[in-house]
A and B are shown apart, each in its own frame.
Chain A
Amino acid sequence: MLSLKKLLISSFFTAASCVVSISSVAEELGYPEKEELTFGFIKLTDMAPIAIAYENGYFEDEGLYVTIEAQANWKVLLDGVVDGRLDGAHMLAGQPIAATIGYGTQANIITPFSMDLNGNGITVSNQVWEKMKVNMPKQADGRVQLPVKADYLKPVVEEIRASGKPFNMGMVFPVSTHNYELRYWLAAGGLHPGFYAPHKGDTSGQLDADVFLSVTPPPQMPATLEAGTIQGYCVGEPWNQQAVFKGIGVPIITDYEIWKNNPEKVFGITEEFAEKYPNTTVRIVRALIRAAKWLDENDNANRPAAVKILSQSNYVGADYEVIANSMTGTFEYEKGDVRSVPDFNVFFRYNATYPYYSDAIWYLTQMRRWGQISEDKPDAWYKETAAKVYRPDIYKTAALSLIAEDLASPSEFPDFVKETGFKPPQTEFIDNITYDGSQPNAYLESLVIGLKQGQKL
């Protein structure tokens, strides 16, 4: 306890917002104010931390009795958290941000815990793949060279559009990671994914589009592709692997290849909840950190056990083999083309669970890029908004108390004394453009397709 206090005192001046939480942790963490909780999730493998925290008893260790409920789609899930039916949920990183700036449902949702990195893929129908494959460079063994760029999709889209038909692709939600990733990938290949113009009431996101994107709930993606309504989609697992298993489509790229170690889902609660039940909030984060740590421990050694839990019908419910494909470090592209992607799902390594401001700002830049934010904002606005939504202070309280109880070691977390919440400039994007979270407007200027400074639709 003494060393914990020392640590806390030394970090006292890092952020003003931490002061409150420091005093509460300096004493021992109190009992949870609310013990019975309901959490929502969407049937995707990246909900794993919640399932593991439940099944391994981490929630119960915190004195929390949690019911976990699958939700029909992201809108139902968000509404559930806003109206209090759910206490917290597995959310798209863009959801708390969009809710806070009032795009779609207006609500003060915060995120004290980031759930994972990577974990999504883009799948196209078999016919589209056959056409794409012709022009693609091959490796010595005859398999196509990765990553598959949208440049090879461009002629296919042009051909289909020339025949008078639209080229449709599915994504899971207007503010989802998948929407931005799919847009990023398409735009990097010279295909325009379309603008939003909310100030004119146009929220379809299809203005000036070469490829028409629309919303489909994740579990229905394979069925919608099979029905021919869409020619491809971007979604989390297991719905890409499902397509190749069922032989209805080909996963062509993972988001790991679009942006290495990109932030994916977050755990969202209302700001009101965090204020009303501070101990409960910290305890939830503690349980989730332990679950994430377990998921990545010993080079993914626990993953098979995790897959077994996820394949239960009340969690993800898909077959063991389908979930195992991506969760255990491999990814099947074209049928039989299984490649090793050890970081396809990252739950804890690389500080995956720490809510970085720079991650939030990337989502804000993409919202501006595609017109969901219709007017220019100064750099300071991006920082303020990120700080409203992402709450590393709560995360820090939880992490320090875990360290104090020897349930985790300091080396597993960012250096809380120096951490600013901004990752150093990231360079590993598919189009090699550098992202620096402290310069959002300069970053927007550097992107080829997208709204620029002063531009309004």
Chain B
Amino acid sequence: MNALIHKFTGKTSDGEATLSERIFTSLKVATLPIFGIVVFLLLWSLAAKQIDTSLGKFPGPQSVAQEVVGLYNEHVAEREKADAFYERQEKRNAARVAKDPTYEPRIRNYTGKETFLDQIVTSLITVMSGFILAAVFAVPLGVLLGLSSAFNTAVNPIIQIFKPVSPLAWLPLVTMVVSATYVSDDPFFAKSFVNSVITVMLCCIWPMIINTSIGVASVDSDWLNVGKVLQLSPIKKIQKIVLPASIPAIFTGMRMSLGIAWMVLIAAEMLAQNPGLGKFIWDEFQNGSSSSLSRIMTAVLVIGLIGFCLDRAMLVIQRWVSWDKASAAR
């Protein structure tokens, strides 16, 4: 039977493809996405031409490309302004010290606007802070839930209720609580930053808790028994057996969380006027200038690209730390 199939399919030996077939496959892998992107760009520019808004035509690929260049030039120009600002400031400080020797000059940060690139960096810092903060709470809690089924049963309903809550619902509460409790004359973090971080944390903590607890609960009982035989202390047991065994599950949860965190952040920034990409979009929407739509479209694409890169980065880390290399692909 096998020989017959081989004859018909032209395969030389079991499952081995010919060189030409392999080239064809790799070509397919390389060209198909490009083909997909080209078709998408064509459809996009065709559709864009059909849509008329009160701010002009919907931006096509071309106007977005122009806007990318424009935003970069704006960034460069702003940096030059910043340099001039620091220079003026040094002169002013020097003049004042000459007049008033007791004065201790300080260099103050540039007060100009945040460019698009700055906003991207701000958003990335915020999302990572929220995500790490969530992980700090979620992983230990998940381990506890996974180890104790009684605790799990008690807490599970609460988690299930909070999990589907949108960031927009949390935001007003977070804002009010933060402005009431986070009071200091010279705060280390800006309030808006704290608001965003906490909102992101509240929304992305749940998948991590759930996945960690499932991962911990499904650790092979044989391994736990080995731990019993070796008479490991509870801490050692978690450190040596439970955590390593559940890393694939924990990371699957983390990847989901990071995706959610990124989506939540943009919405939170938009609503709370916290600096970042979300605020950039909102400001442009408010500006209503003829280039606003293409700027927003640029931001949309950048947000997508960054989300994609974050996901890939998590995948790489997961492969790197995980014993079960296949799990990452799931």
Contact = CB atoms under 8 A, between A and B. Distances in A.
A313 B179 contact: no
A65 B54 contact: no
Given A31-B96, A71-B273, A83-B179, A65 B108 contact: yes
A247 B273 CA distance: 30
Interface in B20-58: 54-55
B289 A222 contact: no
A66 B88 CA distance: 14
Contact of A66 (B103, B111, B287, B292): B111
B54 A248 contact: yes
A70 B283 contact: yes
Contacts of A314: 113, 283
Interface stretch (A316-324, A337-345, A393-401): A316-324
Contacts of B111: 36, 54, 65-68
Contacts of B103: 31
Contacts of A35: 108
Contacts, number: 67
Nearest to A321: B290
B273 A319 contact: no
B287 A318 contact: yes
Contacts of B179: 83
A241 to B, nearest CB: 11
Contacts of A248: 54
A314 B115 CA distance: 9
B96 A319 contact: no
Interface in B71-124: 88-89, 92, 96, 100, 103, 108, 111, 113
B108 to A, nearest CB: 5
Given A35-B108, A316-B287, A85 B191 contact: yes
Nearest to A243: B54
Contacts of B113: 312-314
Interface string A248-261: 10000000000000
Interface string B266-287: 0000000100000000111111
A60 interface: yes
Given A36-B108, A65-B108, A248-B54, A313 B289 contact: yes
Given A35-B108, A36-B108, A219 B92 contact: no
Interface of B: 54-55, 88-89, 92, 96, 100, 103, 108, 111, 113, 179, 191, 273, 282-290, 292, 295
Contact of B287 (A72, A246, A317): A317
Contacts of A57: 88
Nearest to B93: A63
A313 B55 contact: no
A271 interface: no
Contacts of B273: 71-72, 76
Interface in A32-59: 35-36, 43, 54, 57
Given A72-B273, A248-B54, A311-B289, A63 B92 contact: yes
B284 A313 contact: yes
B283 to A, nearest CB: 6
A319 B55 CA distance: 10
A66 B286 CA distance: 23
Given A76-B273, A317-B286, A222 B92 contact: no
B54 to A, nearest CB: 4
| Those 5 A-B pairs whose CB atoms lie nearest each other, nearest first | A317-B287, A314-B113, A219-B286, A246-B54, A67-B111
Given A219-B287, A222-B288, 17 more contacts: A31-B96, A35-B108, A36-B108, A63-B92, A63-B96, A65-B108, A72-B273, A83-B179, A242-B288, A248-B54, A311-B289, A313-B287, A314-B283, A317-B286, A317-B288, A317-B289, A322-B289
Contact of B288 (A31, A72, A219): A219
16 contacts: A31-B103, A54-B111, A65-B89, A68-B111, A70-B283, A223-B54, A246-B54, A246-B55, A248-B54, A313-B287, A314-B113, A314-B283, A317-B283, A317-B284, A317-B289, A318-B289
Interface residues of A, number: 36
A319 B191 CA distance: 32
Contacts of B292: 317
Nearest to A64: B111
Given A71-B273, A72-B273, A222-B54, A319 B289 contact: yes
Nearest to A36: B108
Contacts of A67: 111
A222 B292 CA distance: 15
A324 to B, nearest CB: 13
A424 B112 CA distance: 42
Nearest to A247: B54
Centre residue among B96, B103, B286 by max chain A CB count within 10 A = B286
Nearest to B108: A65
Nearest to A69: B273
Given A70-B283, A85-B191, A60 B289 contact: no
A226 interface: yes
A319 B284 CA distance: 12
B134 to A, nearest CB: 26
Contacts of A226: 54
A324 B113 CA distance: 22
Question: Which interface residue of A242, A313, A316 has the most chain B CB atoms within 10 A?
Answer: A313
Interface string A321-336: 0100000000000000
B275 to A, nearest CB: 9
Nearest to A317: B287
B192 to A, nearest CB: 8
Contacts of B55: 246
Contacts of A242: 288
B110 to A, nearest CB: 9
A322 B96 CA distance: 43
Contacts of A220: 286
A88 B287 CA distance: 22
A311 B292 CA distance: 12
Tell me which of B89, B282, B283, B289 has the highest count of chain A C-beta atoms within 10 A of its own C-beta. Answer: B289
A236 B292 CA distance: 20
A234 B57 CA distance: 28
A442 B288 CA distance: 44
B172 to A, nearest CB: 12
A66 B111 CA distance: 6
Contacts of B287: 43, 219, 313, 316-318
A43 B286 contact: yes
A67 B112 CA distance: 7
A248 B295 CA distance: 23
A54 B287 CA distance: 20
